[in-house]
């Protein structure tokens, strides 16, 4: 299944980390691309592209001036994650059958056309919550709770540890020293 994310209403000052985390979550859980609307944010795009270059996989980020034209030409099923929707667990089987799936996560105010265009308006819980959390939970369940064992083209790989941090460079013979946070 090809999974695409559409993040609505990005605001640079308020949403840079939220939109970046939507992209990081989407990439880590199997999405191939993310589109976003709102304010064009080259810095956020570059941050996500750097993450994909360092940690592997094929993930791209694209800006849209408005969601309408993209939604009208998208070929596949559309799910809009909203606290006002139906419980997503009841639709998982249908979502898994889709060959191409667009997952929409909102922002400040979601236009009515999104609710109308979506094949499903689904909720993780009928309470206010983070769009990053909703996206992560749905993708986790959608992909059968399996993550890619290894991403192609990775320059870095985390080596699971009970304590401490360890990363390695898959194409080299030795681990990369873990000194502080990895820069993305």
CATH assignment of the domain containing 128: 3.40.1280.10
Tell which wins on pLDDT, 32 or 57: 32
For residues 120 and 169, membership in a common domain is answered with no
CA–CA gap between residue 19 and residue 12 (Å, rounded): 9
Global pTM reads: 0.85
Please report the pLDDT score of residue 12 as a whole number. 92
pLDDT-based confidence at residue 172 (cuts at 50, 70, 90):
very low
pLDDT-based confidence at residue 171 (cuts at 50, 70, 90):
low
For residues 140 and 163, membership in a common domain is answered with no
For residues 143 and 184, membership in a common domain is answered with no
* 175 contacts 159 by C-beta, under 8 angstroms: yes
For residues 136 and 178, membership in a common domain is answered with no
For residues 159 and 134, membership in a common domain is answered with no
Domain that holds residue 176: 154-184
Whole-number Cα distances in Å, 153 to 33, 58, 165, 171: 16, 8, 21, 9
Query: What domain count does the chain have?
Result: 2
For residues 141 and 53, membership in a common domain is answered with yes
For residues 147 and 178, membership in a common domain is answered with no
For residues 147 and 159, membership in a common domain is answered with no
Does the pLDDT at position 155 exceed 80?
yes
Q: How many CA atoms lie within 13 A of 121 on its CB side?
A: 13
For residues 108 and 23, membership in a common domain is answered with yes
Please report the pLDDT score of residue 184 as a whole number. 44
pLDDT-based confidence at residue 182 (cuts at 50, 70, 90):
very low
For residues 145 and 163, membership in a common domain is answered with no
* 39 contacts 136 by C-beta, under 8 angstroms: no
For residues 13 and 78, membership in a common domain is answered with yes
For residues 48 and 137, membership in a common domain is answered with yes
pLDDT digit string, tens, across residues 107-128: 778 999 999 999 999 999 888 8
């Amino acid at each position: 299944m090809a999974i695409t994310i559409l993040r609505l209403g990005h605001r640079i000052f308020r949403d840079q980390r939220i939109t970046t985390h939507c992209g990081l979550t989407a990439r880590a859980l199997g999405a191939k691309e993310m589109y976003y609307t709102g304010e064009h944010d080259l810095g956020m795009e570059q941050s996500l592209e750097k993450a994909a270059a360092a940690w592997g996989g094929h993930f791209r980020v694209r800006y849209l001036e408005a969601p309408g034209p993209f939604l009208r030409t998208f070929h596949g099923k559309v799910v809009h994650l909203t606290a006002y929707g139906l419980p997503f667990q009841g639709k998982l089987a249908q979502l898994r059958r889709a060959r191409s799936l667009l997952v929409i996560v909102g922002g400040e105010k979601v236009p009515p056309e999104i609710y109308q265009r979506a094949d499903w308006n689904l909720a993780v819980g009928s309470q206010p919550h983070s769009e990053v959390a909703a996206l992560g939970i749905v993708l986790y369940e959608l992909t059968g709770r399996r993550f890619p064992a290894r991403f192609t083209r990775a320059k870095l790989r985390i080596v699971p540890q009970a304590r401490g941090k360890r990363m390695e460079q898959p194409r080299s013979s030795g681990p990369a020293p873990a000194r502080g946070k990895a820069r993305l």
